[in-house]
Amino acid sequence: MTLLTVEGLQLSLREGDRFTPFVEDVSFSVEKGKTVALVGESGCGKSITCLSMLRLLNPEAVQISGGSIQFEGQDLLHLPLSQLRHIRGNSIGMVFQDPLSSLNPVFSIGNQLVEAIQNHRSVSYAEAKEKALHMLASVRVSRPELRFTEYPYQLSGGMRQRVMIAMALLGEPKLLIADEPTTALDVTIQAQILSLLIELQEEMNLGILLVTHDLGVVAEFADEVLVMHTGRIVERAPVQALFENPQHAYTKKLLASVLKLGGTQ
């Protein structure tokens, strides 16, 4: 079953006084329980594409200038903000690219989780705390009671990333948009976070839109791959087909660079 359908998306960036199209003609869909990976070089438009799904872009800088985004039949681009807020965090969870800047440094982890829960549901502090501790445990954060009282700077990068995933999953979303959820982490922690995502995906039948520049992650995790190059999807294929028979010159270059790296190790 299709959760998200994006058609002909166009995003324009401010250049001086004008907005100029940067992301153009982006179309894809994400099914329940499946992972679509979005790959491409730095600055090609992956993050702004993700942020546009929930209309989280700063309209002074980036505007959605064309196309449509449907989530379970709802037109996200024209939904009143009150309804969109309900979808954010409830039906669609998002892990942002930079976990340190998305966690508030002056509030404890527990405080932030409880606030996020109470934003979406009218529950008592005690109930919200119980739910928060449960979420921390389910993303395999060690000693949840202790972490609950700690501040973001006291957590390792891997732990912070787990907290971000917990935060994104609090509302039991159907779709998770994860923008480079493992990039800043070392290889071992990266593998742990990915296997966590795979487990949670199976448990919750989550659809995932996963941004990564790591083709190893793509090979292991994705069902379908979108290759983005300067704001356009230049290739879209099931993961195996992409690796076995890349069509576009840019995809070939991307794959060759990984093979070369692998060869020199």
Which residue's CB is nearer to Mg ion, number 97 or number 192? 97
Q: Smallest gap, in angstroms, from Cβ of residue 261 to ligand ATP?
A: 17
Among ligand ATP, Mg ion, none, the one that 3 touches (CB under a kind-dependent 5 to 8 A) is none
How far is it, in rounded angstroms, from Cα 245 to Cα 225?
Answer: 13
Q: Which of 3, 13, 36, 169 binds ligand ATP (CB under 6 A)?
A: 13
- Is 265 one of the binding residues for ligand ATP (CB under 6 A)? no
Q: Which of 9, 30, 48, 167 binds ligand ATP (CB under 6 A)?
A: 48
What's the Cα-to-Cα distance from 33 to each of 122, 192, 233, rounded to whole Å?
29, 20, 22
- Is 49 one of the binding residues for Mg ion (CB under 5 A)? no
- Is 136 one of the binding residues for ligand ATP (CB under 6 A)? no
- Is 43 one of the binding residues for ligand ATP (CB under 6 A)? yes
Tokens 């309209």 sit at which residue?
Answer: 59
- Is 47 one of the binding residues for Mg ion (CB under 5 A)? yes
Judged by CB under 5 A, the chain residues 66 through 105 that form the site for Mg ion are 97
Q: Which of 15, 17, 18, 42 binds ligand ATP (CB under 6 A)?
A: 42
Which residue's CB is nearer to Mg ion, number 95 or number 114? 95
- Is 58 one of the binding residues for ligand ATP (CB under 6 A)? yes
Q: Smallest gap, in angstroms, from Cβ of residue 6 to ligand ATP?
A: 15
How far is it, in rounded angstroms, from Cα 87 to Cα 17?
Answer: 33
Which residue's CB is nearer to Mg ion, number 38 or number 242? 38
Contact yes or no for 51/133 (Cβ under 8 A): no
Q: Which of 34, 46, 88, 174 binds ligand ATP (CB under 6 A)?
A: 46
Q: Smallest gap, in angstroms, from Cβ of residue 183 to Mg ion?
A: 9
Among Mg ion, ligand ATP, none, the one that 48 touches (CB under a kind-dependent 5 to 8 A) is ligand ATP
Which residue's CB is nearer to Mg ion, number 42 or number 188? 42
Interface residue list for ligand ATP (CB under 6 A): 13, 22, 40, 42-48, 58, 61-62, 97, 213
Interface residue list for Mg ion (CB under 5 A): 46-47, 97
